[in-house]
Chain A
Amino acid sequence: MQCGWPLLGPLQWMRYVNKQVKVKAGKDEERRGWLLTVDPVSASLVLVNFGEEEGRASVQVVMGHAVEEVEVLQEADEETTERLRTSFLPPETRTLDP
């Protein structure tokens, strides 16, 4: 993906979610991580890197305006997808079922 990242739109951004990506932003700087989401307002990417310890993760947000290139490295397996899905959920999700 070359430039134009903020202009891609939600359907295109969705295709990068749950993938390990390499992002070029700023001067020759490169970042890697699992793409959790893309803010549809600012086109900012949220990258997650899981630590050795259970429940620890380092999160990197790359501002949409600074993104130069996004490259997909690999898809997430089921375990990683689940870890990504639950990483920022509130501790207790209230259910509306009676």
Chain B
Amino acid sequence: SIPSSSDAEQLPGEQHARSVLRESFLRCLLAMANKKIQFQMYERVKVEATFRASDIDVLNFQVSDLHTPIGVQKEALIRCQDVISFTFDA
């Protein structure tokens, strides 16, 4: 993403903060792999699936056994733009 400050003095601190936050987020994604996830999507849609992977930009999630109202989709990609939030038990 775009640096929020062009101030050169602030840059190392900002980059450090960015790396700390990202590492923690990636560990969270790792912990999510192969877990049952409940997705809350727009229009009050709620679906459940087994989380497999995310791409680096967090644009798509690869999931298995996606429980949709018309049946179970063995493998699927979920567009992150369609998701409001998702939950799982760690």
| CA distance in complex: A6, B57 (Å) | 14
Residue B56 lies at the interface, judged by CB distance under 8 Å to chain A: yes
Chain A residue nearest to B38 (CB atoms) is A60
Chain B residue nearest to A63 (CB atoms) is B83
Our count of residue pairs bridging A and B at CB distance below 8 angstroms stands at: 113
Say yes or no: A58 contacts B87, CB within 8 Å: yes
In the complex, which range does the number of interface residues on chain A fall in?
35 or more
* A-side contacts of B62, CB under 8 Å: none
Say yes or no: A31 contacts B25, CB within 8 Å: no
In the complex, which range does the number of interface residues on chain B fall in?
35 or more
Chain A residues proximal to chain B, CB less than 8 Å:
6-14, 17, 25-27, 29, 31, 36-44, 46, 48, 56-63, 65-66, 87-90
Nearest Cβ distance between residue B73 and chain A, in whole angstroms? Answer: 21
Say yes or no: B85 contacts A59, CB within 8 Å: no
Residue B8 lies at the interface, judged by CB distance under 8 Å to chain A: no
- Once A7-B4, A26-B42, A58-B90 are accepted as A-B contacts, the answer to whether A14 and B85 lie under 8 Å apart by CB is no
Residue B47 lies at the interface, judged by CB distance under 8 Å to chain A: no
B13-47 vs A, CB cutoff 8 Å, 1 = contact: the mask equals: 11101101110110110111000000010101000
A-B contact pairs, 22 of them (CB 8 A): A11-B10, A11-B17, A12-B4, A17-B21, A26-B85, A29-B40, A31-B85, A36-B24, A36-B28, A38-B25, A39-B25, A40-B1, A41-B1, A41-B56, A41-B57, A42-B58, A44-B25, A59-B90, A61-B86, A65-B81, A66-B84, A88-B24
